[in-house]
Amino acid sequence: MPTRYVLKIPCPISGCAGQSRLSQWVCARDNGTMYVDEDGYLSCYSNNHRAKIIYWRFDCGERGSGSKHNYERYQSADLEGFSHAMAIGLPHLKEAGAVWVTKLIQSVENQFINGDR
């Protein structure tokens, strides 16, 4: 069974102004806290909604001139955007450990680069 940690990353959408602000994410369907596991899955608190990262869409709430979320609120992340978000967010997961973090990075890379859709 994978180990889950609270998802605390900035907006993973490339070019979004929210990329500079660390956020704790919630599931749009049930308002539950979002979690990430080392297999590259996101899930809500209840674990009722669980899927690979590439299937999730994100809305950081950033609005205004030039916002990526103005016209299409929920956006899919690309490898560059999600890698940037992980680079900022993962240092806050000290309890996860290096092995967990390495497996997560490899899982995410596999999803995006190898077309694991």
Three-class secondary structure of residue 36 per DSSP: strand
Q: Is residue 19 part of a domain?
A: yes
Q: Is residue 117 part of a domain?
A: no
Q: Is residue 14 part of a domain?
A: yes
Q: Is residue 8 part of a domain?
A: yes
Task: Give me the pLDDT at residue 58, please.
Answer: 92
4 confidence band (pLDDT: 50, 70, 90)? very high
116 confidence band (pLDDT: 50, 70, 90)? low
- Contacts for 22-31 with beta carbons within 8 Å, 24 or more apart? 22/88, 22/89, 22/92, 23/60, 25/58, 28/59, 28/74
Range of the domain at 15: 4-64+74-112
The answer to whether the CB of 79 falls within 8 A of the CB of 113 is: yes
Gap between the Cα atoms of 114 and 5, Å rounded? 25
pTM of the model: 0.86
Q: Is the pLDDT of residue 61 over 60?
A: yes
Q: Is residue 69 part of a domain?
A: no
Q: Is residue 32 part of a domain?
A: yes
Say how many domains are in the chain: 1
Q: Is residue 45 part of a domain?
A: yes
Q: Is the pLDDT of residue 66 over 70?
A: no
